[in-house]
Amino acid sequence: MPQPLMGMDLAELREAAGPLQPPYRARQLYEALYRGRARDLARISTLPADLRQELASRYAVGLPEIATIYESSDGTRRYLLRLSDGRTVETVLMPEGERDTLCISSQVGCPVNCRFCMTALLGLERNLTAGEIVGQVLLAAPEKELGRLNIVMMGQGEPLLNLPHVLKATRILLDPAGFGLSPRRITVSTAGIVPQIAELGRAPVRPKLAVSLNASTEEMRRELMPITRKYHLKDLMEACKAYPLRPWEKLTFEYVLLREVNDTDADARRVVKLLANLNAKVNLIALNPGPEIPFETPDPGRVAGFQAIVRRSLPCFIRKPRGLDIYAACGQLKRAVTQIG
């Protein structure tokens, strides 16, 4: 099977081009793959024909295949992508006025058994490569100016458990010769893998960090997110306090509200206390329903009441659900093919 070029950095592409090629050929190949969105090596006209033929004999572009596209009544698109080994993964495009958001996956399935998330029911199949992560952007991002695109690694998987490939993909996405995105436009979301939070903070090129909190006490978080049995809430808060924010940056905390479970006024006050010494903002997500999920969505008034308490002390926003009718909303990615209702 030909080796994929997608996900290779400039040094790796120099090696692929071979020692007889001048260095600028690797740069041309790099720009064609990422900025030019090349789908076929034979059509990269900036490269000489003999080099294209040589590359095609040993390599392939290596993009995932679009198996199915599901379209929501609100304009959201859910892409089911087939990988080279036959496994599938999901990517969601959410258009919104002048700016689109692309939610991409970092693993096939997910090893973090959050009880309110449909993706957790899949378990983990494997990590995605940097090329498979970048390939989602190439396939699903609109052709319009990429500077208007927000990318969130909040699809299938726990990104910090695949950190080397996530960081490599981020470097390609931020490279001016590649996609040229701003670091303000890429966010990675974690359930709270404490050692990797510190490792992410040391990376010279990195996305923004979002943390899935979802509970105001250790006991409740352990019940909802078993990962807390290994990485305690206290340790997570210490890691967040030590995280080196850039001058323009805030930590984002995501909080999925479950009816009569973690949505009380007391919970809201405890969230404020937990985050009191952090430069942070909070995104509230009313549970997006799905089969086999043993929780209910709180009423809008309860969500608004929770927000009112938190935003007395911290910026707090309610995330509008997108793509509910095609299982594309947060926590719903499970390769479902039927529509709700």
Active site residues: 90, 330
DSSP result, 142-177: -SS-GGGEEEEE-SSS-GGGGHHHHHHHHHHHH-TT
Closest by CA to 196, choosing from 181, 183, 184, 211, is 211
The DSSP symbol for 298 reads P
Gap between the Cα atoms of 24 and 325, Å rounded: 48
Gap between the Cα atoms of 191 and 210, Å rounded: 9
Q: Is 256 helix (H, G, I), strand (E, B) or coil?
A: strand
Decide if 263 contacts 88 (C-beta within 8 A).
no
Question: H helices of the chain, where?
Answer: 10-17, 23-34, 49-58, 130-140, 163-174, 194-202, 218-224, 233-242, 265-274, 300-310
